[in-house]
Amino acid sequence: MRPFRTLLVEDNAAFRQTLFDILSAQFPSIVIEEAADGKEAFQKIGSVLPNLIFMDIKLPGENGLQLTQKIKAKHPQVIIIMLTSYDLPEYREAAYQYGANYFIVKGSSTNEEILALVRSILKDSGFTPNGQKEQNPS
């Protein structure tokens, strides 16, 4: 069984580590990979084949919006949560136009809100709350 895979694309190492710690503590079966910029993230997409990506909107080099659009063109099933420090309507609108599924504002979303969103995504994707693929009884 292939585990649920998540890619954290965030250039702020401290925020990326915090998100990693929160997710791995709550969902120990999820495989979590990290990337600090768009180039590294795009390289990892092919090998990791994530189910879920947390994508920072502002990244060194290629920004998160452009990267989201490229990922969705090749892998439309990947769920992308756009992350930003700025709760601006134009950022939110752009995130959805470029293909993001969800939009989270860093600093105003609580850990529990983020975990609840991931739980909902797991359930909708056919995984158990801890990140294991649900078995279909035959």
In the chain, where the domains are located? 5-124
State the fold for domain 5-124.
Rossmann fold (3.40.50)
b/e burial code for range 66-96 (CB count within 10 A of at least 16 → b): ebbebbbeeeeebbbbbbbeeeeeebbebbe
Q: Tell me, what's the pLDDT at 135?
A: 66
Q: What percent of the chain has a predicted confidence (pLDDT) above 90?
A: 78
Query: pLDDT digits over 120-136, tens only?
Result: 999 999 888 767 676 65
pTM: 0.93
CA 94 → CA 37, 53, 102, distances in Å? 19, 17, 12
Beta strands in the chain (DSSP E): 5-9, 31-35, 52-56, 79-84, 102-105
Query: pLDDT digits over 75-99, tens only?
Result: 999 999 999 998 899 999 999 999 9
Split at pLDDT 50, 70, 90, the class of 138 is very low
